[in-house]
Amino acid sequence: MEYTVGQYLATRLAQLGLNHVFAVAGDYNLTLLDEMAKVEDLEQVYCCNELNCGFAGEGYARSRVMGAAVVTFSVGAFSAFNAVGGAFAENLPLLLVSGAPNNNDYGSGHILHHTMGYSDYRYQLEMAKQITCEAVSIAHAHEAPCLIDHAIRSALRNRKPAYIEISCNIANQPCTEPGPISSITNSLISDDESLKAAAQACLEALENAKNPVMIIGGKIRSAGCVISKKITQLGKQLGCPVATMAQAKGLFPEEEPEYVGTYWGEISSAGVEELVRNSDCRIYIGAVFNDYSTVGWECQLLDDHDIWISTHHTRIGKKEFSGVYLKDFIPVLTPLVKKNSAYLEQFRAKNHAAKTVTVAEGQAPLTTVELCRQIQGMITGDTTLYLETGDSWFHGMHFKLPNGARVESEMQWGHIGWSVPSMFGYAVSEPDRRNIIMVGDGSFQLTAQEVCQMIRRNLPVIIILINNAGYTIEVKIHDGPYNRIKNWDYAGLIDVFNAEDGKGLGIKAKNGAELEKAVQTALAHKDGPTLIEVEIDAQDCSPDLVVWGKKVAKANGRAPRKG
Ligand code: TPU
Ligand code: MG
């Protein structure tokens, strides 16, 4: 078979284990989509707009080795760039592919549609370079294989998005056939000497430690679930307490005895802030310190006794080891470490019992406490729970996850509206999991239309839409008239999206009894999504959000730097 540029690209994605690519059509990418469609193992999944398309690719990358989105020039790509920024911030390999002008037009002085209105079209490539780890332009077929492989390899190595633009008259031109995919996937190999030296330094640090504690951060999400299993083995081998940062909720199995809860400064699980503060050796794995994760810079504990293991480098005390990749380092370290459960036993002896939640009276107006009690009952070992930016983050930390349950959030980029399209992409990859979204009314208004794609593909996603009449998270940071929003009939929207053939369900719940019924209906409904709109009082929110909001507001409001 003779390969074309589009087929080469699609074959590479299929070789990587992708079965789907997300797309929005436009005249610069139509030929490309035709060529990519000839590769049978890679189905095209269409989205309502390019922002959502990018997020769908990002969600797919949370389940597979990579996600990919194909868009048209400028009008499409500019919208997708926001999702690309998100994938960069969240360390997810998303490949953005954009159709581009006919190669005869470069340097011709022609002014083309969908461009900025002058004849230099390189601006898009230049923009992409700022928000990806590799951005390439393919204007000649013979260069395509090399450039495509280079961009994909960079994305996988760096766990960051990459960008490829392809001239619209090049996508169907012949090129060479792809070789083994291992040339791309096997390109991240740690330096042996550094691995050994880092392991040695780590053992010395642990040897001197009485009270070690392991703290897992969001960066390990991007390293995949294989890494998560290896880190679990390390935690068990160490026998020390293990906490997860908010971004990493679910990345250590919570039923394991070593698991102590969430570490999030003042709003940590009971006893965990003190546990981390008093530790003489904090083993951070994939941790991210930002203003949100440190509660307005109040809990950034890192000193010379601590161990900092990140995806691409390790720092132990005052020594830096680059070329030490997490995936290689953890298996080297695990068999060498000695068990030290003393600190865990001390913690357990303090008996930080979880609060018991009483069942609300069935007809009483719904509260967030009752809502979360019922959501907890829905979480099984095959559940993936998406937590949208907003009060959902704070409630989400209190769920007890059975082993196998996963939580996804986007706390570094924090784009409201992310959850619906990202979950769409995730659910395309994982249709058999129990996929649940907790999303606020304000967030939902940004990307609501992508629910129709869940309907189109009969994906049984359960959307818990919290209608609290506004931007509560913003109210708690800094209030004003801008935090009020126009109400929608959210449940009613589903009928609009169903049109003549859809099988989505929209249900409203105002009290506990109604919610219970709605949840039963949603769990039984397998031919499409169910949106449950829950009515919550505008003043009812997580106490953690109130504490956190004040601290973040204080950090935002610091006086200007002098001089
Ligand atoms: O549960 P709740 O009310 O806190 O969540 P809801 O209703 O989804 O409100 C979220 C409010 C919010 C805004 C407006 N959170 N962050 N923002 C700022 C923001 C604006 N635009 C984008 C794209 N992302 C943002 N995070
Ligand atoms: Mg809200």
pTM: 0.97
Give the Cα separation of 32 and 170 in Å (integer). 8
Could you tell me if the CB of 415 is within 6 A of ligand 1?
yes
Q: Which two tokens stand for residue 140?
A: 């000649």
Cβ partners under 8 Å of residue 155, min gap 6: 66, 93, 94, 95, 132, 133, 134, 161, 162
Retrieve residue 30's tokens. Answer: 């139509």
Are 444 and 468 contacting, i.e. CB atoms less than 8 angstroms apart?
Answer: no
Give yes or no for a contact between 135 and 129, defined as CB atoms under 8 angstroms apart: yes
Residue 318: φ, ψ to 5°: -100, 10
**Class of residue 79 by CB neighbours under 10 A (exposed 0-12, middle 13-18, buried 19+):** middle
280 lines ligand 1 (CB under 6 A): no
Ligand approaching nearest to the C-alpha of 476: 1
Q: End-to-end CA distance of the chain, in Å?
A: 67
**Can you tell me the distance from the alpha carbon of 307 to that of 264, in angstroms, rounded to the nearest whole number?**
18
Return the half-sphere exposure (C-beta side, CA atoms, 13 A cut-off) of residue 514. Answer: 15
Task: Work out which ligand 1 atom sits closest to the CA atom of 473.
Answer: 4
Flag whether pLDDT at 551 surpasses 80. yes
| Distance from residue 324's CA to the centre of ligand 2 (Å) | 43
Read off the pLDDT band of 529 (50, 70, 90).
Answer: very high
Confidence of residue 113 (pLDDT cuts 50, 70, 90): very high
Nearest ligand by distance to the CA of 368:
1
Q: Which of 406, 418, 343, 416 is closest to 379 using CA atoms?
A: 406
Of the candidates 486, 495, 394, the one whose C-alpha atom is nearest the C-alpha of residue 438 is 394
Summarize pLDDT for 16-59 with one digit per residue, the tens: 999 999 999 999 999 999 999 999 999 999 999 999 999 999 99
How far is residue 282 from each of residues 209, 210, 383, 529, measured CA to CA in Å?
9, 11, 30, 43
Q: Would you place residue 60 in the very low, low, confident or very high pLDDT band (cuts 50, 70, 90)? A: very high
Contact 16, 66 (CB under 8 A): yes
Q: What is the pLDDT of residues 33-42, one digit of tens each?
A: 999 999 999 9
Q: What is the pLDDT of residue 226?
A: 67
DSSP, collapsed to helix, strand or coil, labels residue 526 as: coil
Q: How long is the chain?
A: 563
Ligand 1 center to residue 442 CA distance, Å? 6
Q: Minimum-distance ligand to the CA of 478?
A: 1
Instruction: Specify whether the CB–CB gap between 436 and 382 falls below 8 A.
Output: no
- Asked whether the predicted pLDDT for residue 225 surpasses 70, the reply is no
- The model's pLDDT over 361-387, given as tens digits with 9 standing for 90+, comes to 989 999 999 999 999 999 999 999 999
- Any bridge partners for residue 215, and if so which? 243, 284
Which structure tokens are listed for 230? Answer: 């290896």
- Give residue 309's pLDDT: 94
Centroid of ligand 1 to alpha carbon of 326 (angstroms):
33
Which residue is closest in CA terms to ligand 1's atom 19? 416
